[in-house]
Amino acid sequence: MPLEKIDPRQRAWVEVFPEAIKANTQAIKRLLSDNCLLMAVVKADGYGHGSETVAEAALDGGANNLGVATLQEGLDLRKAGIKCPILILGNLVNVEDLKACLRCDLMLTLSSSNEAFLCQELAQAMGKKINVHIKVDTGMTRLGCNLSIASELITLVENFPNVSLHGIYSHLALADAQKNSKAELFTYQQKEKFEALLANLRIKNKLFCRHLANSAGTLRDKELHFDMVRVGLALYGYSPFEYVNHDCALKPALAVRARITLIRDVPAGIGVSYGHCFVTERPSRLAVVGIGYADGISRALSGRISVLIDGIAVPQVGSITMDQLVIDITDNPNISVGAVVTLLGVDGGMAITPYEWSKVSGSIPWEILCGFKYRLPRVVI
Ligand SMILES: Cc1ncc(COP(=O)(O)O)c(C=O)c1O
């Protein structure tokens, strides 16, 4: 039986704007000095926008490299025909994964001598050279080797015949801290530790790429850029801080929309949705919207957000459920079934941003963007 094709905009969907990603990439590039590279971080399926779409748009806008978190993400990009250097920012510890990495020319992150020995043995057995970046922990305390053994690990790798050292990097933990705060100082302490390590290296080949900054580091200060910046959030149109001025106009690259599937008039005093957390105070016109927490609209947002219909803000009421949520359209009685509701993004002259959702749900813009599930088709505009 032939598969039915349905309109992706029938119920709920995510619109993705590659032109915005391209423009954001170009805007970020303008902040960098001529010899500083830009790595577009497209992990988590391009922060929910679709990694292939984002990768192509970012490369079109002048990105030099791509960063992913997992082997599968790297392989997917290679399968899509993307040829630029790709660094896996997570670490791989399994021999089969390393083999796939070598076959598909993906660059690896090394955080320990065990990982380094494994790479050397495997690349030697396959008669190949594996390209790696060594990650050093200067204060994030996640991946990366301890600073005290970094020099030793770098020297070890430099002497391995089948491992090619392409980069040395670290990751900032507090780069989105407020200006002149104690936390801001920590970023500069991380930078100093990174610089001291690099200055004291006793290796022959110093042509590796040094990188430290994420979006926050990139937008905050050129001094943090080194040879390459690794930019995620800003690429998607959002700055990690609302309070630090930066000379970079960013455009949101995504909108989440859904349709009204039912409209009902109910009297005052009626409990709405699970738990009856909202009770109508007046005779009300309620609309059911076909999107819920199984699509990535967190339950924590229940009763705390508005949506946009033709540029008008309408309150969401009651608990958000798995597949549906309810909005109160009493003040806008002309709205009809099938109307498009914007949950996140721009509609008319109005916009709803992940910052607003973050504030009411205790989340962060990163989590919100990559939280939209695959029941929502991505529609590239
Ligand atoms: C190692 C590394 N570099 C860069 C980034 C990009 O961060 P951002 O989205 O804040 O720019 C990430 C994302 O978490 C990361 O893990």
Q: What spacing in Å lies between the alpha carbon of 38 and ligand 1's midpoint?
A: 12
Q: Is there a catalytic annotation at residue 243? A: no
Residue 249 has a pLDDT of: 87
Q: Is 230 in the pocket of ligand 1 (CB under 6 A)?
A: yes
Tell me whether residue 270 is exposed, middle or buried, using C-beta atoms within 10 angstroms of its C-beta: 0 to 12, 13 to 18, 19 or more.
middle
Give the chain as a 3 state SS string: CCCCCCCCCCCEEEEECHHHHHHHHHHHHHHCCCCCEEEEECHHHHHCCCHHHHHHHHHHCCCCEEEECCHHHHHHHHHCCCCCCEEECCCCCCHHHHHHHHHCCCEEEECCHHHHHHHHHHHHHCCCCEEEEEEEECCCCCCCEEHHHHHHHHHHHHCCCCEEEEEEECCCCCCCCCCCCHHHHHHHHHHHHHHHHHHCCCCCCCCCEEECCCHHHHHHCHHHCCCEEEECHHHHCCCCCCCCCCCCCCCCCEEEEEEEEEEEEECCCCEECHHHCEECCCCEEEEEECCCHHHCCCHHHCCCCEEEECCEEEEEECCCCCCCEEEECCCCCCCCCCCEEEEEEEECCEEECHHHHHHHHCCCHHHHHCCCCCCCCEEEC
Q: What spacing in Å lies between the alpha carbon of 370 and ligand 1's midpoint?
A: 13
Token reading at 190 = 């991380």
Residue 242 has a pLDDT of: 67
Which residue's CA is minimally distant from atom 8 of ligand 1?
232
Residue 243 has a pLDDT of: 53
The ligand 1 atom at the shortest distance from the C-alpha of residue 230 is 4
Q: Residue 314's beta-bridge partner residues?
A: 307
Residue 207 has a pLDDT of: 85
The one catalytic residue among 22, 29, 43, 135: 43
Instruction: Give me the residues of the chain with pLDDT under 50, please.
Output: none
Residue 179 has a pLDDT of: 79
Q: Is there a catalytic annotation at residue 43? A: yes
Residue 205 has a pLDDT of: 79
- What is the tens place of the pLDDT at every residue in 245-258? 566 889 999 999 99
The ligand 1 atom at the shortest distance from the C-alpha of residue 69 is 16
For ligand 1, pick from 89, 141, 218 the residue to mutate: most ligand atoms within 8 Å of CB: 89
Residue 61 has a pLDDT of: 98
CATH class of 254-380: mainly beta
Residue 180 has a pLDDT of: 81
Measuring CA to CA, which residue among 314, 381, 308 is closest to residue 350?
Answer: 308
The one catalytic residue among 179, 188, 222, 274: 274
Residue 245 has a pLDDT of: 54
Q: Is 214 in the pocket of ligand 1 (CB under 6 A)?
A: yes
Domain boundaries, the chain: 18-236, 254-380
Q: Is 215 in the pocket of ligand 1 (CB under 6 A)?
A: yes
Residue 93 has a pLDDT of: 86
CATH class of 18-236: alpha beta
Q: How many CB atoms lie within 10 A of CB 373?
A: 12
User: 18-236 with 254-380: one CATH topology?
Assistant: no
